[in-house]
Chains A and B, each alone.
Chain A
Amino acid sequence: MECREARKNLSALLDGALDRGAAEAVRNHVGSCAACAAAFETMRAADADARAALRGMAGSARPSGQFTARVLAGIARRGRAPASTLWRPCVRRVALVAAAVVIIGLGIWTIVSNLPEREGDDVAEVDAQPTPRQTVIVLTTLDLPAFRGLVDELLGNGFPGPPPEPEEAHRPQLNYAPTVVPTHWG
């Protein structure tokens, strides 16, 4: 055993908290290493002094004769009954589940109530004025024509935008229709 390992176990050795094999190994090391023996002896002496000091200070101390009466008066003054073992964790769990159900329910209701009515799958052909939230939903469904229309509108149709790609033939067929999705943002 090395010094470092032995010193880590000196405190547990004092308490008799090591198993037999480990205690034997630490004792053997301490017996053969003067530095660790000195460290152990210092620790033991300091610990014994600390123990004596703590016991000397607190050992003879007694609470006043009114101690119990004061405790009971304190309990009566605060008027707190002991919490039941069962209902408190149970109530906490039920409250958490209820809160989760309400949050999830509200989320689903918000999404469903804002979905635009669709004819087929063509979201861009919305005649009614959609709300901004509906427009966001359109965008999040990756409807590219709608997105392009919105960008055109936001840029005032006059912004040059990115340069055209050189090879028209390689442009993916996205069926762009210059659709403008009405919004209330502009």
Chain B
Amino acid sequence: MDAAADEALIAAARRGDRGAFGILVERYRDRLHRAAMGLTRGSADAEDLAQEAFIRAFGGLGRFRGDCAFYTWLFGVLLNVYRRWMRRRARVQQRVVHAETDSADPAPLPDRRAAASDELERALSVIDDLPPKLREVLVLRHLEEMSYVEMARAVGCRVGTVRSRLHRARELLAVRWRRARGE
């Protein structure tokens, strides 16, 4: 994307120009929506999360210092929204589990999409089981193709932390992938 064009739009949006911000939304909505899909494992809430991230980004434009690409910063906002969504979801699920302790076969999550094939489904379920912080870096790497430095900025940690999280994610993936194949 054209960083200079972004800058002009961001400056205008900071002055309250919603039209300028609308252009930024148009420019990044597909990408951010795809990232939300990756993070939420195809949840129907992904679009709401991406919208919420844009709304919060508008309110927080003053905090964007321009030391990274706008999208990297935007992704950081999405991560915050996503983490809050995860916490809320965990609380709801906990309540559901408490309410249905007798149910031997709990219903699948309503937002889970059917994958295209068994292979994909198996891979997705392995990704599902990763701790959220490990899943985040995996999504950043595979969907966003961000560098370690960009990932560190988006997640808000050091490059070394990103590197070790990614390594840990792949180690777990490998172990579970082998197990899922019965190896």
Q: A residues near B, CB below 8 A?
A: 8, 10-12, 14-15, 17, 39, 42-43, 45-47, 49-59, 61-64, 67-68, 70-72, 74-76, 78, 80-85, 88
Q: B15 to chain A: which residues have CB within 8 Å? A: 82
Among listed B79-87, B103-111, B122-130, interface-contacting one: B122-130
Q: B47 to chain A: which residues have CB within 8 Å? A: 63-64, 67
Q: Does A67 contact B138, Cβ atoms closer than 8 Å?
A: no
Knowing A75-B55, A82-B16, the reply to whether A46 touches B167 (Cβ < 8 A) is: no
Q: Does B62 contact A63, Cβ atoms closer than 8 Å?
A: no
Knowing A11-B166, A50-B138, the reply to whether A84 touches B173 (Cβ < 8 A) is: no
17 contacts between A and B (CB under 8 A): A10-B167, A11-B166, A43-B173, A46-B126, A47-B170, A53-B123, A54-B139, A55-B142, A56-B116, A57-B38, A75-B21, A81-B59, A82-B13, A82-B14, A82-B15, A82-B61, A83-B60
Query: Size of chain B's interface in residues, with CB distance under 8 A?
Result: 58
Q: Does A58 contact B143, Cβ atoms closer than 8 Å?
A: yes
With A57-B42, A63-B47, A67-B47 already in contact, 19 other A-B pairs whose C-beta atoms are closer than 8 Å: A17-B163, A39-B174, A43-B173, A45-B177, A46-B126, A46-B176, A47-B174, A52-B123, A57-B113, A58-B38, A61-B33, A61-B42, A72-B25, A76-B18, A78-B59, A81-B59, A83-B60, A83-B61, A84-B62
Q: B176 to chain A: which residues have CB within 8 Å? A: 46
Nearest-CB distance from B59 to chain A (Å)?
Answer: 4
Docked pose: A62 CA to B142 CA in angstroms: 18
Docked pose: A30 CA to B178 CA in angstroms: 19
Q: Does B177 contact A46, Cβ atoms closer than 8 Å?
A: yes
Q: A46 to chain B: which residues have CB within 8 Å? A: 126, 170, 173-174, 176-178
Q: B residues near A, CB below 8 A?
A: 13-16, 18, 21-22, 25-26, 29-30, 33-35, 37-38, 41-42, 46-47, 50-52, 54-55, 58-63, 65, 113, 115-116, 119-120, 122-124, 126-127, 138-139, 141-143, 148, 163, 166-167, 170-171, 173-174, 176-178
Q: A56 to chain B: which residues have CB within 8 Å? A: 115-116, 120
Q: Does A59 contact B34, Cβ atoms closer than 8 Å?
A: yes
Q: B138 to chain A: which residues have CB within 8 Å? A: 50, 54
Knowing A58-B38, A61-B33, the reply to whether A43 touches B115 (Cβ < 8 A) is: no
Interface of chain A, main secondary structure: helix
Docked pose: A72 CA to B23 CA in angstroms: 11
The chain A residue sitting closest to B142, CB to CB, is A51
Q: Does A72 contact B22, Cβ atoms closer than 8 Å?
A: yes
Q: Does A68 contact B170, Cβ atoms closer than 8 Å?
A: no
The chain B residue sitting closest to A11, CB to CB, is B167
Q: Does A58 contact B173, Cβ atoms closer than 8 Å?
A: no
Q: Does A54 contact B127, Cβ atoms closer than 8 Å?
A: yes
Docked pose: A83 CA to B16 CA in angstroms: 9
Nearest-CB distance from B23 to chain A (Å)?
Answer: 9
Q: A74 to chain B: which residues have CB within 8 Å? A: 51-52, 54-55
Question: Top 8 nearest A-B pairs by Cβ distance?
Answer: A83-B62, A53-B123, A46-B177, A58-B37, A11-B167, A82-B61, A63-B33, A49-B123
Q: Does A53 contact B34, Cβ atoms closer than 8 Å?
A: no
Q: Does B173 contact A50, Cβ atoms closer than 8 Å?
A: yes
Nearest-CB distance from B104 to chain A (Å)?
Answer: 28
Nearest-CB distance from A79 to chain B (Å)?
Answer: 10
